[in-house]
Structure 1
Amino acid sequence: MRALLSVSDKTGIVEFAKNLESLGFEIISTGGTRKILKENGIKVIDISEVTQFPECFGGRVKTLNPYVHGGILYRSGVDDEEAKKLGIKRIDLVCVNLYPFKETIERTDDFEEIIENIDIGGPTMVRSAAKNFKDVLIVTDVNDYDKVIEAIKNKQDTFEFRRDLMIKAFEHTAAYDSMIANYMNERFNEGFGDKKFIVGKKVFNTRYGENPHQRGALYEFEDFYNNLNVLKGELSFNNLTDINGAVKIAVSLGEGAISIIKHANPCGAAKKEDLITTWQKALECDPISAYGGVVAVNGVVDKELAEEINKIFVEVLIAGKITDEAVKVFEKKKRIKLVDLGQAKLEIPGDMCDFKHIEGGFVFQDADKVEEDEVANAKCVTNICVEDKKDLEMAWKIAALTKSNCVVFVKDSQMVAIGMGMTSRVDATRCAVEKAKQLGLDITGSSLASEAFFPFRDSVDYAAEVGVKAIIQPGGSIRDDEVIEAANEAGIAMYFTGKRHFLH
C-alpha cells in the first residue's frame, strides 16, 4: 500500500506518517513535507521517483503526472490491466491540504507572491482521489488523522466512511477556489464580479428552523461562533438571529451597554454608570416585551447583576463573560440559555458584506455601519443646536440597527421609546409615544432619531407635543424646508447626517 502526503499545514503529519508506516504503507511525499518526514526518521519516497521527472518551474509542477494521477484514478476491477500495462501503481491514500492562500492575502498585497500561493497540484490530487473514493482514501483535515488510522487499523474504512471523506474533500477544494475567485473580484472588480461565492462552515444543527417544520443549522465564515461558550441550554435558530441583533446594538453602544431584543426588534437599551442601573433602565423601556427576550450585556455578568436579571424570565443571556457564581443564579431556570465569549466585553466579527435571500437568488451589498464621526459631523440645520450629542448618537445607532420605518427616543443614555417596522414614519412616532405613555415613561427632553428622512412635518409636530428637544435624521426630503421650519417653531434642535440607514 502507498500513501501520498503533501501538506502545507504540517500539524500532526509526522505522527500520521509514522502510524501509516506501522500499518504497512510506503510513504510518498513532496518538498517541505518530505523534508520534515525524513528529519523525523520516516522512510520517504520522493515524488520524482514516482513521476520519473524532476520538480520544475520553481515547484509549480511536482505531481501533475500520469504516474501520480493514474495511480489515484484507475478503477479497481475495471482498469487493472491497463494500469499494469502502463506501469502505474496504486496510490491508496492521499493526504493533502492546500497552499496557504488566505494567510498570504492577509499578510501581503504583493500580487506575484499571492499568485504563487494558488495551489494547482494539491486541488487536482484532492479531486482525483475524491472522485475515486471507493479505491482511495482522501484526507484533507488534520483533525481526521486519528480517525483514519483507527478505521484502517480496525478495517472500518467502509464505503460510507470513504464517502464522508470524499464529501469533505470536495468541500475543501470548493471553499478554496471560492476564496480565490472572491479575492480576485475584490481586487479587480470592486467585489461585484459575475459570480459571488458565499461559503460557511457548519457549527451545529439547530433543532429546527424558524418553525418546527423547517430544518436549520448555524454556519460561520471564520471562527467567531466556535468561540462562543454555551454555558447552559441549546441555542435555537431564532435565538441565533436575535443574539445577532442584540449583540450588534450592545457593541455599537460601547462597553457597559445592555440591549434587549424580542422577535428581532429592540425593546430596551441603556448605558449608565454601572451594569445594574443599565439593566434596570434598559428594562424600563418595555418590560412586557422583554419577558422571554434576548439580553446582550457588553461586559461581565456577576452574581449581583444575574440576580437582577433573574427577576424576570429571559430566554437568552449573552455577555462578554458570565461568572460561575452568576451561572449558579440561573440553575433553577430550565429554559434560559447562557452564552459568553470568555472575555471582558462583547465583540462582533464586523463582516464587510451583507446579503439577503430573495426567491430565486440573493441580493448582495456592502455591510452598513454607523461611522464613528457620523453624529459628531452631523450638520445642525435649525436655529437651536445642542452641545451634548450623546443621546442623539445612541438613538442614531439603535435606529440604524432597527427595522424601517423606525424612530428611537433616548433620554439620559436610556432608550425610552421606539417605533419600528411601520409603513408610515408618523405611525412609528405615534406608536413609540403611546407605548411610552402606557408605561409611564417621561420622554420630555428626549432626543429622537429617524433612520431615514421625514417626508412631511407631521412626525416633527408630534414629537414637539411630547417635548422632544433634539432630532437627528439623514435629511434629503423635498420637504426638508417644511420639516426644519416645524423644528424651529417648536424650539427643537435638528441635525442632518446626510446618510440613510434603511434596514429592510
Structure 2
Amino acid sequence: MTALLSVSDKTNIIFFARELIAIGYEIISTGGTLKTLQEEGIEAIEVSSYTQSQEMFGGRVKTLHPRIAGGILYRRQNSEDVKIAKEYGIRDINLVCVNLYPFKQTIQRTDDFEEIIENIDIGGPTLLRAAAKNFQSVLVVSNPSDYDFIIEALKSHQNTLVLRQKMMIKAYEHTASYDVMIANYMNKTFKEGFGDMHFLAGKLVGKTRYGENPHQKGAYYEWEDFYSKNFKTLKGELSFNNLTDINSAVKIASNFGESKAVCIVKHGNPCGFAISDTLLDSYRQALRCDNISAYGGVVAVNGEVDLALAQEMGKIFFEVLVAPSITKEALEFLMPKKKLKIFLCGEGYLKLPKDAKNFKHIEGGFLLQESDEVLSDEVKNAQCMSIKKATNTQMQDLGIAYKIAALVKSNCVVYVKNRAMVAIGMGMTSRVDAAKAAIIKAKEMGIDLQGCVLASEAFFPFKDSIQEAYKAGVSAVIEPGGSVRDEEVIACANENNMALYFSHKRHFLH
C-alpha cells in the first residue's frame, strides 16, 4: 500500500505518517513535507526518485508526472489499466493526503502580486481531483482535522466505499473553495470585484431545526470562521429565524462601538434601542419604546449581562438573549426559563464581521453590491439647512437615530430622545405613513415625543412629514436631502422653528 503525502499545512502530519507506516503503508512525499518527515526519522520515498524526474522551475513542477497521476487514476478493475500500470512500473497509490498552498493567508499578508501568484497551487488540486475522481479505489484526505478519524477507520478495516465517497466530497469542496477564492481575488484586483462570474463559497456551521417555516429545511454557513469561533450557544437550539433576528439586533447594537447599548428586535425590525450609563438602564429605556412587540423578541446587549439585568429581563418573555458575556449568577437565574435561548457573540463587546460586499437572492440569480456603511463623520459633517441649529444633545440623538435608520427596512423614520429610541416606523410604502405609524405607536405606549429628534434614511419628498413631525414634538431632523421639493421642506422646518440637517447620503435598505 502506498500513500502520497504532500501538504502545505503540516499540522499533525508526523502523527499521520507514523500511523500509516504502522498500518503498513509506504510513503511517497515531496518538498517541505518530505523534509519534515525525514527530520523526524520517518522513512519516505522522494517523488523525484520515484518518477526519475527532477523538480523543475523552482518547484512549480513536482508531482505532475504519469507515475504519480497514473498511480492514482488507473482503474483497478480494468484489466487494460492494470496491464499498463505494471508495464510502466506505476505504483498503486491508494491514499492521497494533500492540502493546498496558503493562498488565503498570502493575500491577507501581502499585496506582492508575484508572491501571490506563486502561492496558487497547481499540483495539489490536480492530485486531489484525481484521487477524488477515482474514489472507488483511492482514499483522499484534504484536512488535518480528519487524520484521527481516518487512522481509526483504517485500523478497524473500515476503508469502505461510503467513507471514500465522504472524503471525495470533502476534497472537491476543498478544491472548489480554493478556486473560488482565486477567481474572486482576481476579479477584485482587475475588475473592481464585479467580474463576469462571481462565486459564493460558505462553510457549513450547522443545520437549523427548519427554515423560516417548519416545511422548509435550513442550515447556516460562514464565509470565514466567525460563527464557529466567536458565536457560542449556552442554552437552546438555534433556529433560522433566530439567526436573522440576531444579525439585525447585533448589527444595530454593535454599531455604537463600546457604548452600553441594548437593542430589541422582533421579526428583523428593532422595537427598542437605548444607550445609557448602565446596561440595566439601557435595557429599561429600550423596552419602553414598544414593550408589546418586544414580547418573544431578541435582545442584544453590548456588554456583560449581570444578575440585576437578568432579573429585570426575566420579567417578560424573550426568545433570545445575545451578549458577549454573562455572569455565572445571571446564567443560573436564566437557565430555568424553558423557552429562552442564550448565545454569546464577540468578546467584551458585541461583534459581527463587516463583509465588503453583500448580495440578495432574486429568482434565478442574485444581486451583488458593495456593503452600505454609515461613516463616522456623516452626521458630524451634515449640512444645517435651517435657521435653527441643533444643540449638542440633539446632535447626539440625531447620530443615534441616523445609524438606526440606515439599518432598518425602507421606508423608515426613527425617533430618538435622550439616547433612546422612542418611536419607529419601518417598511412602509409611504414615508409619511411611516412617520404617522410611529407617532400612533408612541401614543399607545404613553411616550412623550416632545423634544425628540427624527432621522430618515432617504429624503422627504414633501413637507407633510415635517409637519407631522412638528405636531408630534420633534425638535430636529436629519435626512439625506435631494428632493425637488427640498426648499419646501426647509421652509417648513423654519416656519416651525425646527433644526434640519442634510447628510447628502441615502441609506436605503430594501
TM-score by length of 1: 0.99
Question: Match for 2:338 among 312, 334, 338?
Answer: 334
- Report the Cα offset of residue 329 of structure 1: 1.1
1:403 — aligned with what? 409
> Residues of 2 paired with 1:320 and 1:52: CA distance?
58
Contact 2:383 2:502 in 1 (8 A): yes
Aligned counterparts, 1:17-32, within 5 A: 17-32=17-32
C-alpha distance in 2 between matches for 1:331 and 1:100? 43
What one-letter code is carried by the residue in structure 2 that aligns with 1:229? K
Please say if residues 346 and 352 of structure 2, whose CA atoms lie closer than 8 Å, have aligned partners that are also in contact: no
Alpha-carbon separation, structure 1, partners of 2:121 and 2:57: 14
Rounded Cα–Cα distance in structure 2 between residues aligned with 1:205 and 1:324 = 28
Output the amino acid matched with 2:52.
Answer: Q
CA distance in 1, matches of 2:130, 2:58: 23
Deviations 1:282-341 (A, max 9, x none): 000000000000000010001111111111110000001112211111122111110113
Secondary structure (helix, strand or coil) at the match of 1:502 reads coil
Asked if 1 retains the 8 angstrom alpha-carbon contact of 2:477 and 2:500, the reply is: yes
Q: What is the aligned counterpart of 2:191 among 185, 189, 192?
A: 189
Aligned with 2:302: secondary structure?
Answer: strand
Tell me the residue number matched to 1:228: 231
Residue 128 of structure 2 is aligned to residue 120 of structure 1: no
Q: Deviations over 1:162-220 (max 9, x none)?
A: 00000000000000000000000111100000011111000000010000000100100
2:252 maps to 1:249: yes
Partners of 1:365 and 1:56 in 2: CA distance: 43
2:46 corresponds to 1:43: no
Match of residue 174 from structure 1: 176
2:478 to 472, 482, 504: 472
Q: 1: CA distance between counterparts of 2:165 and 2:504? A: 55
Aligned to 2:158: 156
Which residue identity lines up with residue 130 of structure 1 in the other structure?
A: A
In the alignment, what sits opposite 2:64?
Answer: 64
Equivalent position to 1:435, from 441, 464, 485? 441
**Alpha-carbon separation, structure 2, partners of 1:376 and 1:162:** 60
Structure 1 residue identity aligned to 2:423? A
Equivalent residues in 2 for 1:68-87, closer than 5 Å: 68-78=68-78, 79-87=81-89
Alignment partners' CA distance in 1, 2:88 and 2:495: 93
SS at match of 2:59: coil
Specify the code of the residue in structure 1 equivalent to 2:275. K
Name 2:370's counterpart in structure 1.
Answer: 366
1:87 partner amino acid: G
Alignment correspondent of 1:2: 2
What residue is the counterpart of 2:508 in the other structure? Answer: 502
Q: Distance in 2 between matches of 1:325 and 1:98?
A: 46
- Please report how far the alpha carbon of residue 86 of structure 1 lies from its aligned counterpart in structure 2 after TM superposition: 2.5
Aligned position for 2:287: 283
Alignment pair present for 1:356 and 2:360: yes
What is the DSSP-based 3-state SS (H/G/I as helix, E as strand, rest coil) of the residue aligned with 2:443?
helix
Following the alignment from structure 2 to structure 1, what is the Cα–Cα distance between the partners of residues 466 and 263? 26
Deviation sequence 1:108-150 (CA, Å, 0-9, x none): 1000000000000000000000000111110001110011111
Contact (CA 8 Å) 1:449, 1:473: kept in 2 or not?
yes
**What's the counterpart of residue 393 of structure 1?**
399
Amino acid at match of 1:244: N
Structure 2 length as normaliser, TM-score?
Answer: 0.98
Q: Deviations over 1:226-276 (max 9, x none)?
A: 121100001100000000000000011232100000001100000011111
CA contact (8 A) 2:323 2:343 kept: yes
Q: Which residue matches 1:106?
A: 108
Count of residues in Structure 1 that have an aligned counterpart in Structure 2 = 504
Corresponding residue SS for 1:5:
strand
Aligned partners of 1:197, 1:272: CA distance in 2, in Å?
A: 43
Q: Secondary structure at the match of 2:348?
A: coil
Gaps (5+ residues) in structure 1? Answer: none
Task: Name which of 426, 448, 472 aligns with 2:432.
Answer: 426
Q: Deviations over 1:88-107 (max 9, x none)?
A: 11111000000000110111
Classify the secondary structure of the residue corresponding to 2:186. Answer: helix
Deviates more, 1:201-210 or 1:342-351: 342-351
Aligned pair partner of 2:273 in 269, 285, 288: 269
Q: Is the 8 A contact 1:353 1:366 kept in 2?
A: yes
Question: Runs of at least 4 residues of structure 1 off by over 2 A?
Answer: none
Contact kept in structure 2, 1:28 and 1:44, CA below 8 Å? yes
Q: SS in structure 2 opposite 1:95?
A: strand
AA paired with 1:440?
G
Q: Secondary structure at the match of 1:253?
A: coil
One-letter code aligned to 2:373: K
C-alpha distance in 2, partners of 1:12/1:411? 57
Q: Distance in 2 between matches of 1:378 and 1:385?
A: 11
1:379 correspondence with 2:383: yes
Deviation at 1:43? 0.3
Checking the alignment, whether the CA contact within 8 Å between 1:229 and 1:342 is kept in structure 2 is no
Sequence identity of aligned pairs in percent? 61
- Structure-2 separation of matches of 1:250 and 1:342: 12
TM-superposition CA deviations, 1:364-390 (whole Å, max 9, x none): 000011001111011001111113111
Q: How much has 1:439 moved relative to structure 2?
A: 0.7
Does the CA-based 8 Å contact 1:443-1:466 persist in structure 2? yes
In the alignment, the residues of structure 2 paired with residue 87 and residue 254 of structure 1 have an alpha-carbon distance, to the nearest angstrom, of 65
Q: Secondary structure at the match of 1:6?
A: strand
Partner of 1:288: helix, strand, or coil? Answer: coil
What secondary structure sits across from 2:421 in the alignment? strand
Give the SS at the match of 1:287: coil
Cα separation, 2, equivalents of 1:323 and 1:235: 21
| Other-structure match for 2:464 | 458
Deviation at 1:342, TM superposition (A): 6.3
Q: Distance in 2 between matches of 1:400 and 1:251?
A: 14
Inter-partner Cα distance in structure 1 for 2:257 and 2:38: 53
Deviation string 1:449-480 (CA, Å, 9 cap, x unpaired) is 00000010100000011110100000000110
Aligned to 1:312: 316
Moved more, 321-330 or 409-418: 321-330
